[in-house]
Amino acid sequence: MATPPYAVTMERNVAAPMRDGVILRADVYRPQAEGPFPVILTRTPYNKGSLDGSASPTYETLAAAGYIVVAQDVRGRFASDGDFTPLFAFGYPDIEDGYDTVEWCAQLSDSTGDVGIFGNSYGGFTSYCAAFSAAPSLRCVFAEGMTQRLSDFEPHFRPGRRFAWSMCTIAPDIRLKLGLGEPHTKEIADQLWERERHKWLWYLPRKDIPDELFGGEVQAAHYRVLMTEAGVDTFQWQDRYPDVRVPVMHRAGWYDRFVRAIDGYTLMAQQAATPEARSGQRAMIGPWGHTSALDVYEGEIDFGAAGLVEQTDLLLRWFDYWLKDRDTGIMNEGPIRLYILGANAWRDENEWPLARTQYTDYHFHSDGNAQTPRGDGFLCTELPGEEVPDQFVYDPRDPVPSVHLMHDQDGVFDQSVLDSRKDVLVYRTEPLAEPLEVTGEPIVHLYAASSAVDTDFMAKLVDVHPNGFAQNLSYGVVRARYRNGYESPQLLTPGQVYEFTIALNPIANVFQPGHRLRLDISSSDFPNWDRNLNTGSDGYSDATMVSARQTVLHDAAHASRITLPVIPRD
């Protein structure tokens, strides 16, 4: 009898009928050996046959290890029939289609009837949808790079990212099917985006952006809802966690804008339907960006060889345990594996947030001149007394530029290139004498006033190295009109002081001796975040903009501060 690795065959465009009669198509990879074999499924809108050339080797390796591997185009994409409804639109079909496809996989010839699913980014979304479907034949899930709520990555405030995703990744195939003009491939669309990205990122009013950019009228309608309705959560998973009946691996990176995937671990560990499902939840957060777990460089920093995790090996350890009943050791590790930046080492934890966290307030201080790192802004744990506020002018015609990867993903880049900006307030500690670990979700409490009726406040946590390299760690934003929640928008009274709460993304970092902890406060980070025009309009139907004079207070009555989740040293 043959033993792994097996030779592999592949059958293209195998038809799977959904409950409504629509046909979805998959490539099916099979071991050339006597079965039966478990099935590993992945569902993608990005072309099952390409995925930038990285998918097929993974599929073949998994099949060679003794699995039937099914790679399916989701509804309306590439080889599959039907209409594509994206994840940020109500009525997406992926829970129902996930159920039907899992059960179809279980009935394939030579299948054991046991099915697992995996995917990254949108594939992480479809993997979660399969978990929520409670398909009887599903045994486990491996989901990467996807959060639990649409509002976690604030697409309403990040149209630039949505434009790039639509124009380069989604629209070409749809344009081809509809008979619209080029681009019809991602490669050509990428080239076009590089030439025209400046035009579309700065375009106002956004209502005048042509439908063709999004792939026609139907797709454009989804985006226009996204651009006009803040805080909408089309996922609507909040009541579905008790439907989850399988173990799930939740994986993301600290430099992934979907890092709140870790919330999926917490919610399912608490609410999943069975004891096995609850105890079978696992999370892994590494030194990666979005879809970049195969590289220890994420921007300009090498996080060390320990941060490199071989993707296929990890998948096999997970699926072999749950689909083949092999003790691979993966369930003997802690339920949460965190890569601690700065220490460049993995550590197992039992809960999130960490029970031993000591929440510590670092207060803003200055003599009123905190602009740029050459100013007098500083952070310390002492409460402020009577202090002069800091001011800056935010002009949406000249926003603070985002410093990130050119394909609009997050990454590590030296933020000191912004040091000359007068519209960024900088508060930093003295060089540290001892290591300081911050692991969790920092919160900024900002007392501020604006001359405008609406504006934004940005907070960015930075690790300043002794050589001056300013390493971005985490960031957050508040749009003033939504300071009390999306359900109750309220404009500002110009000149009135408000307390704003800014939740930063989760992070795990050790600030080493000689480093400084720094917090940057501004009102823009473009094109990572949309510009607030300071007029109270949404920028969708109006291009009018005004400058805003911002005042940040830090005195005894207005103790602006960042609350850090400090982890005590052993």
The one catalytic residue in 256, 390, 408, 456 is 256
Q: Residue 104: enclosing H or E segment and its boundaries?
A: helix 94-106
Give the domains, in start order, of the chain with CATH numbers.
8-151+234-349 (3.40.50.1820), 155-228 (no CATH), 358-567 (2.60.120.260)
Which pair of tokens denotes residue 531?
């510009």
Q: Which of 156, 250, 290, 515 is catalytic?
A: 290
230 falls in which pLDDT band (50, 70, 90)? Answer: confident
Query: For the segment 251-295, what is each residue's pLDDT rounded down to a tens digit?
Result: 999 999 889 999 999 999 999 999 999 999 999 999 998 866 555
Q: Select which of 73, 100, 111, 121 is catalytic.
A: 121
Per-residue pLDDT tens digits for 382-396: 999 999 999 999 999
Q: Note if 363 is an active site residue.
A: no
Confidence of residue 54 (pLDDT cuts 50, 70, 90): very low
- 153-212 pLDDT, tens digit each: 676 677 777 788 888 999 999 999 999 999 999 999 999 988 998 899 999 999 999 998
pLDDT at 297: 55
Question: What digits encode the pLDDT tens for the residues 507-554?
Answer: 999 999 999 999 999 999 998 889 999 999 877 899 999 999 999 999
Q: What is the pLDDT of residues 479-515, one digit of tens each?
A: 999 999 988 999 999 999 999 999 999 999 999 999 9
The confidence score (pLDDT) of residue 408 equals 52
Tokens of 538: 């949404």
Q: Does position 85 have pLDDT exceeding 80, yes or no?
A: yes
Q: What is residue 52's predicted lDDT score, i.e. its pLDDT?
A: 43
- Provide the pLDDT confidence category of residue 323 given band limits of 50, 70 and 90: very high
256 is catalytic: yes
pLDDT at 53 over 50: no
Give the pLDDT of residue 295: 53
Query: What DSSP string describes 74-138?
Result: PTTSTTS-S----TTSTT--HHHHHHHHHHHHHTSTTEEEEEEEEEETHHHHHHHHHHHHT-TTE
Question: Residue 567 forms beta bridges with which residues?
Answer: 437
- Provide DSSP, 261-322: GHHHHHHHHHH-SSHHHHHT-EEEEEEEETT-TT-SBSBS-B--GGG---HHHHHHHHHHHH
What's the mean pLDDT when you consider all of the chain?
A: 93
491 and 426 Cβ atoms separated by less than 8 Å:
no
> Is 121 labeled as catalytic in the residue annotation?
yes
What is the spatial distance between Cα 461 and Cα 443, in angstroms, rounded to a whole number? 10
